[in-house]
Each structure stands twice: as C-alpha cells, then as structure tokens.
Amino acid sequence: MINENLINEYSGTTFSVTKVNGVSRMQYASSDEHWIENREEYGSIFMGDGPCPDPDNPFVLGSVLHKRIFEDIPDYENVLVLGLGMGLLPQYIKENKSFVKVIDVVDNNQEVIDYVTFIDDSINVIKADAYTYTPDKNYDLIIADLWWHHQITGEMKDNLKNHYWDNINYNGRIYFPINPIAYIKTA
C-alpha cells in the first residue's frame, strides 16, 4: 500500500478520493462500482504473494490462483502495467521485487496521471490508450489491470494479447490479474 501520509483527498471531474477510517478510496465517476482502495492486499495478491488459505483445498482458493501464475516465472526485469489507478501495483513491485529494473505504466486518464504523484519517481507513467499504445521496448511481464470486477471479455484479452505479443520477451508473459490468467511467450 501507499503511505497514507502522501495521499491527499481530492474531488475532481473523473474521480474523487476520500479517506474512510484512514484508508484512501478512489471512486471513479464512471460507475459506483469503479473504485479502488489503498490496501496492501491489492499488490500482494495480484503479484502472487498473497496469503494462501489452503492450497490443498480447491474450494478455498483465495489467492492460490494468482500464486500459480508466478510459480514458474523467472525474475522479470522489465514490467509494463496497463492501468495506473492509485499506482498500487507499480509501487508494490517497486518495493517488493528488487530484481525489477524498469516499471512503465500506461493510463489514458490525464487527471489520474496528474493526481498520482505519490509513487516512486523511478516509475515511468505514460499517457496513452492501452489498446493502441506501441511500446518502444520489450517486456518480461505485462500486467493488464484496466477493469473493475468482471467487465473484461475474451475479446479484450485477445486484443491486448495480440497487440503486445511482439513486445514480450522470450518466456515473458501478459497477465490478466482480474481473471487470473497469463499467456506465456514460449517461442
């Protein structure tokens, strides 16, 4: 999670941020269901470090599915995150994955980009539409985190996978944490 002392409440056009019991909550104007809270679990679960309730019980999966995505993954030095939000994922990676050398983030909302000044300076934020952005480098891990709940469709996944495939290194992958599923580039 981000240090709460760095986050200010905000009331804007496309989103607002309020503190509830000391936890910042970013609420997008697009829908009541489009919100994100400054919680450690967001980064830890999505990056495979979450608590494992019972790995032997398939009915109590918890974050086991996310853990599996990272089971055979080599150290991923170059990371692209699609969707800035509060910056929870890129900041978690910065603080917990010391082998990562590059963290780039794409978001199409300039207001969000202007607001999120509290993440590490080494994280590069790029204003672009994630579906059309063409990176100038290749990545070991691309994390597509553009959705809330289950708005994601198979077509969206295919479009992003096809669009970024040439920018994924050998044994690299594009990961959809909301599902969770990853496509590995093996050749």
Ligand X SMILES: C[S@@+](CC[C@H](N)C(=O)[O-])C[C@H]1O[C@@H](n2cnc3c(N)ncnc32)[C@H](O)[C@@H]1O
Q: Which chain residues interact with ligand X by CB under 6 A?
A: 36, 81, 83-89, 106-109, 112, 129-131, 145-146, 148
- State which residue, 6 or 60, has the beta carbon closest to ligand X: 6
The CB-of-77 to ligand X minimum distance in angstroms stands at 19
Alpha carbons 36 and 185: distance in angstroms, whole number? 30
* Bridge pairing between strands 15-20 and 10-11: antiparallel
Q: Which is nearer to ligand X, 48 or 85 (CB)?
A: 85
How far apart are CB 58 and ligand X at their closest, in Å?
27
Secondary structure class of 17 (helix, strand, coil): strand
**Residue the block writes with tokens 């480098």:** 137
**Beta carbon nearer to ligand X, 88 or 168:** 88
> How near is the Cβ of 110 to ligand X at its closest, in Å?
10
Please spell the DSSP secondary structure of 58-94, one letter per residue. TT--TTHHHHHHTTTPPP--EEEEE--TTSHHHHHHH
State the maximum Cα–Cα separation within the chain, in Å, rounded to a whole number.
Answer: 49
CB of 23 to ligand X, least distance (A): 14
CA atoms within 13 A on the CB side of 106: 20
Our CB check for ligand X shows the closer of 69 and 88 to be 88
Least distance (Å) between residue 88 CB and ligand X = 4
CB of residue 107 vs ligand X: minimum separation in angstroms?
4
| Chain residue whose CB lies nearest ligand X | 85
Yes or no: say if 66 and 46 are a contact pair by the CB < 8 Å rule.
yes
Chain centroid to Cα 113, Å, comes to: 14
Cβ-based nearer residue to ligand X, 27 or 169: 27
Which residues fall within 8 angstroms of residue 162, CB to CB, at 6 or more apart? none
- Report the residue number, 112 or 168, with the smaller CB distance to ligand X: 112
Per the structure block, which two tokens stand in for 105?
């983030």
